[in-house]
């Protein structure tokens, strides 16, 4: 039997009354388990087997590869994600990335901690659109696809104005000539996102002009790392419009 803290990543209907749940745990990574009766009655597991709840679960060995969910206890919850639509969409994206970025049974303590940090930041009022991108930068690094460093991974020069390589920021000399240019401000923003401590993930707010450079780069990096574009990206909140300067003020 396994007893551990867990987050629900996905619940899939199974037969008439059951659910198959994907859970993220620190020590055992992603685990799939059969939750008997959970589909028929939400009260089956005390009504707490839900997204954005921190759970303590007990899993027994089921038949075959699928474990069987025993008891579920509520340790805490991120309530703002149930009431704020931008926070909800962002939180759902975090769960989606955690699911796509983990393999069943592989320990994922860093990603588990990162996910808790991301949900905590949303609960404390972080700007959802910015938090999603900070989380992406840090999740990519934990999956072995760090998208940005202080120096160019090709030649070691300190990065200023740079270029969007395939999933990684390169100096313009190392990038292909057709690669999109990233301003020094966009590079500094990505570096800052990569270096934020887990308890301060909400501290960075991306201005719309920099987000316009950073977002396409991160979308491409995610697609490369995960092998496909996560569906939840499409529901992420935007950064607002970049207004042109008012007429008459342009020299
Ligand atoms: Zn270089």
Length of the chain in terms of residues written = 251
Distance 162 CA to ligand 1 centre (A): 9
Query: In this predicted structure, what is the pLDDT of residue 104?
Result: 86
Distance of CA 156 from the midpoint of ligand 1 (Å) = 6
The pLDDT of residue 55 is 98
Q: Please give the helix or strand (H or E) that residue 158 lies within, else none.
A: none
Residue 97 Cα to ligand 1 middle (Å): 29
**Cα 158 to ligand 1 centroid, rounded to whole Å:** 8
Residues 6+ apart with CB under 8 A from 105: 28, 29, 30, 31
Closest listed residue to residue 102, CA positions, set 25, 203, 176, 41: 25
Location of structure tokens 């579920």? 72
Q: How far is the CA of 150 from the centre of ligand 1 (A)?
A: 11
Distance CA 68, CA 55 (A): 15
Residue 248: the pLDDT is 63
Quote the ligand 1 centre to 58 CA distance (angstroms).
50
What was the pLDDT predicted at 180?
Answer: 96
Find the 107 Cα to ligand 1 centroid distance in Å. Answer: 34
By the 8 A CB rule, do 27 and 109 touch? yes
Stretches in the chain below the pLDDT threshold 70: 62-64, 241-251
Write down the pLDDT at residue 43.
81
pLDDT of residue 103: 87
Å from CA of 177 to ligand 1 middle: 13
Distance 151 CA to ligand 1 centre (A): 8
CATH 2.40.50.140 placement within the chain: 2-77
Q: Give residue 163 CA to ligand 1 midpoint distance, Å.
A: 10
How high is the pLDDT of residue 246?
A: 60
User: Do the beta carbons of residue 92 and residue 2 sit within 8 Å?
Assistant: no
Give CATH 1.20.1440.120 domain extents, the chain: 85-235
The alpha carbon of 153 and the centre of ligand 1 are apart by a number of angstroms equal to 6
CATH of domain 85-235: 1.20.1440.120
The architecture CATH gives domain 2-77: Beta Barrel (2.40)
What's the whole-model pTM score? 0.92
Q: Which helix (H) or strand (E) holds 177?
A: none
Report CA(215)–ligand 1 centroid distance (Å): 22
Q: Quote the ligand 1 centre to 147 CA distance (angstroms).
A: 14
Alpha carbon of 45 to those of 36, 52, 237: distances in Å?
Answer: 9, 15, 32
d(CA 147, CA 170): 9
pLDDT at residue 40, as a whole number: 86
């Amino acid at each position: 039997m396994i007893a551990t803290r867990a987050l629900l990543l996905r619940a899939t209907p199974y037969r008439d009354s059951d659910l198959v749940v994907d859970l993220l745990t620190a020590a055992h990574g992603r685990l799939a388990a059969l939750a008997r009766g959970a589909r028929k009655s939400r009260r089956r597991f005390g009504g707490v087997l839900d997204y954005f709840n921190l759970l303590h679960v007990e899993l027994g060995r089921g038949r075959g590869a699928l474990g069987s969910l025993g008891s579920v206890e509520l340790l805490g919850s991120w309530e703002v994600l149930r009431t704020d639509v931008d926070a909800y969409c962002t939180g759902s994206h975090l769960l989606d990335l955690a699911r796509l970025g983990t393999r069943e049974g592989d320990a994922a303590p860093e990603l588990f901690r990162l996910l808790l940090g991301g949900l905590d930041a949303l609960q404390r009022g972080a700007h959802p659109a910015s938090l999603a991108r900070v989380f992406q930068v840090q999740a990519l690094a934990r999956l072995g696809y760090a998208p940005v460093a202080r120096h160019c991974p090709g030649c070691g020069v300190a990065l200023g104005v740079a270029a969007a390589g395939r999933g990684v920021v390169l100096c313009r000399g190392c990038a292909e000539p057709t690669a999109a240019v990233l301003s020094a401000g966009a590079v500094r923003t990505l570096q800052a996102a990569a270096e934020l401590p887990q308890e301060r993930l909400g501290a960075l707010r991306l201005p719309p002009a920099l987000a316009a450079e950073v977002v396409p780069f991160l979308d491409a990096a995610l697609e490369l790392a995960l092998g496909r574009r996560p569906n939840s990206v499409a529901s992420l909140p935007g950064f607002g419009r970049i207004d042109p300067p008012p007429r008459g003020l342009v020299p």
